[in-house]
Amino acid sequence: MADAGYDDWVAAIADGEGYYLACPDGHGSLPPRRSCPHCASDELTEEPLAETGEIVTFTEVHVPAPSFADEAPYVTAIASFGSVRLTGVVRDVPRSDVELGMAVTPDVDVNATTGEQVLVFRPVDE
Amino acid sequence: MNDVRIAGVGLTKFGRYPERTGRDLFAEAALAARDEAGISRGDYDEVHYGNFMGELAEGQGHQGPVVAEAAGLDCPATRYESACASAGVAFRQAVQTIRGGGADVVLVGGMERMNNLGTSEVTRSLAIAADELFEVRAGVTFPGAYALMARAYFDEFGGDNEDLAHIAVKNHANAMTNEYAQFHREITVEDALESPVVADPLTLYDACPITDGASAVVLVSGDYADENGLDAPVRVAGSGQGGDKAALQDREYLAQTPAATKAAEMAYADAAITPDDVDVAEVHDCFTIAEVLALESLGFYEPGEGIGAAARGETTRDGDRPVNLSGGLKAKGHPVGATGTAQVVEMTKLLRGDHANSDAVPDARVGVTHNAGGTVASAVVHVLEVMN
């Protein structure tokens, strides 16, 4: 099933060319969207997503939904990229090393259970 | 504006009924409420009904007419869906309808059937209360979403799992005397801390159970109650609803629930009361951290101060303002679409003095119910008051 707007956004992240939608007042949001969720401006432009974000909260999920059955336990996090935040699965780092404030970069990987694409965060070497 | 009074309430015992149909569960609660109200069948103007996952659990959409028929009524019936706030929203719409003169007698309630699904299917079904594109696809489950909020709370304000454990212990203790509760088992702080991790930092005992059940309330206009000499001593004094972004990532706050704050402020203004006037509260503790966020949104505590309320004994049955004397969602159970009106049923009984735990609040006159949808992207608050 195709999801216009969202699929293009995921493909751009996979290509290392992630973007977000910005309104004239500087609010950020993600597609598909026709107006800013913060001020309702319909003048949205695509702006480059910051290459590096920072984890603001996370959880290790032990009881998964069926679509993540083969992934559990896995870490899902919300990370801040300037004026937008993204939610993704943390890859390439043991749970014990995941912490608030950790620098991550967004990428796209395969959900082992469904074979579908999933937004992931990978640690940034500092 | 027409006054709104509670003429009858009904509940099923909450629990595991994998073989019982949703229409049967609702009929049990609705007939109990109708029996208590004693209003003739032809006087019912509308049915307002909350349900969340009926399509997934029973393959049944368009449930309004199905459950109205089961309740023995022949009148317009509408289903409201707002995740875990479904019945709370249905209740608010019923209140607004009566206040506006659009109806004199409304049966309002809710039902959820969940245990006929396996745990993983229930987990999938509950997760659809989150944002499908941006949260569900990133592995966010319902417990996972509240775990994200809990970690954000600990980071911003402090507090720990032991504080949360005291909430679970309190609510299990309250449920012991509630015949309608799913659990009748006291637990200790150690039990809670040692229970399996569901989505860290939340463990099994931070979470409400998977519950089947139904609840129903008969609402009437003040004029109808007076003209028919009804015994309806509790009135709905205030109603409020608030909203927030669906996805946590788009919210201004990860450790506060402004949708509930707005709902509370609206309900308090409507009832012309302040948080200090509230004697007792039933709040939406689908997870222990949710009770903390509720206490703060209701204005009982400043942000960051509610986490220790149970441990300090302030919200226990012996405290100044008992919270979740029913056992809460945590121990009474959480049949999602039935919860909002189940809270109203419990509060009505607490205020009337015929609840098993009414002795904890013998002089209570003002009670508040707080019902949240999803990760509090929806919130409904009601103020109930004993009439003079």
pLDDT at B237: 98
Residue B75 domain-assigned? yes
Residue B122 domain-assigned? no
Q: CB–CB of B139 and A78 under 8 A?
A: no
Same domain, A62 and A29: no
Same domain, B16 and B108: yes
pTM for the predicted model, two decimal places: 0.98
Confidence check: pLDDT of A52 > 70 = yes
Confidence check: pLDDT of A126 > 70 = no
Mean pLDDT (whole number) for B360-379: 98
Q: pLDDT tens for residues A75-124?
A: 999 999 999 999 999 999 999 999 999 999 999 999 999 999 999 999 99
Same domain, A42 and A53: no
Residues 6+ apart with CB under 8 A from B14: B180, B181, B182, B211, B212, B213, B332, B333, B335, B342
Q: How confident is the model at residue A1 (pLDDT cuts 50, 70, 90)?
A: confident
pLDDT at B147: 98
The complex scores an ipTM of 0.97
Domains of chain B: total: 2
Boundary of a domain, candidates A31, A48, A65: A48
Confidence check: pLDDT of B130 > 80 = yes
With beta carbons under 8 A apart, name residues in chain B contacting A84. Answer: 249
Where in the sequence is the domain holding B324, given as residue range(s)?
129-209+239-386
Closest-CA residue of chain A to B197: A62
Token couple for B17: 């009924």
Strand spans (E) along B210-337: 213-221, 234-243, 280-282
Where in the sequence is the domain holding A38, given as residue range(s)?
1-48
Q: pLDDT tens for residues B5-48?
A: 999 999 999 999 999 999 999 999 999 999 999 999 999 999 99
B208 labelled catalytic: no
Catalytic site residue from B48, B284, B334, B382? B334
Residue in A62, A100, A111, A120 to test binding to B, most B beta-carbons within 10 Å: A62
Same domain, B219 and B106: yes
Same domain, A76 and A37: no
Taking alpha carbons only, the member of B323, B319, B313, B251 closest to residue B292 is B323
Same domain, A74 and A118: yes
Count of positions (residues) in chain B: 388
Same domain, B226 and B244: no
The closest CB to that of B134, out of A58, A66, A87, belongs to A87
Same domain, A55 and A83: yes
Count of positions (residues) in chain A: 126
Same domain, A94 and A57: yes
B84 labelled catalytic: yes
Residue in B131, B249, B289 to test binding to A, most A beta-carbons within 10 Å: B249
pLDDT at B365: 98
Same domain, A59 and A77: yes
Same domain, A114 and A65: yes
Token couple for A60: 């290790």
Taking alpha carbons only, the member of B341, B329, B338 closest to residue B369 is B341
Q: What is the CATH number of the domain that holds B263?
A: 3.40.47.10
Alpha-carbon gap, residue B342 to B332, rounded angstroms:
10
DSSP-derived letter for residue B361 is S
With beta carbons under 8 A apart, name residues in chain A contacting B143. Answer: 61, 63
Q: What is the CATH number of the domain that holds A63?
A: 2.40.50
Same domain, B44 and B190: no
Same domain, B293 and B378: yes
Residue B375 domain-assigned? yes
pLDDT at B2: 84
Q: Are B332 and B349 in contact (CB under 8 A)?
A: no
Confidence check: pLDDT of B302 > 90 = yes
